[in-house]
Amino acid sequence: MSNGDGPIDIQRLIAEVAARHNVFLRPDDPGIALVTMNRLVLEDAMERIHTQIRATIGEFHASMQRAERRAGSMLAQGVKESGAQMRQGLQNDIHIAGLKAREIVHLVNEAHRRPR
């Protein structure tokens, strides 16, 4: 038999059956017709399976794209939140540094006001 890419080699089938089972068929034997019918049924079933596999792969790819978009959105939101937290932290640090600078300026001014 072939791999589904071409017609059945009837002469090879007849020779194989004769060699394996010592049964001699003719090309017009009903058994050969059954082999052809079986192959047609198998090819039809395989085509339906391939169609289902292609559809499943398409659904999988679409699902992966949705997951990638969602992950990207989640990452962007996380980066945005982290940026806001960093900005708030920097503003707090700047405010604290300003308070400390005022305190140092105040202490320097106090020191200059005192007589030596």
What confidence score (pLDDT) does residue 56 get? 96
Rounded to 10 degrees, the C-alpha dihedral 12/16/17/23 comes to 100
For residue 114, the 8-state DSSP code is: S
Q: Which long-range contacts (CB under 8 A, 24 or more apart) does 103-106 make?
A: none
Q: Mean pLDDT by 10-residue block, N- to C-terminus, for the chain (116 residues)?
A: 65 92 92 91 97 97 96 95 95 94 90 78
CA distances for 79 relative to 66, 71, 75, angstroms: 20, 12, 6
Model pTM?
Answer: 0.53
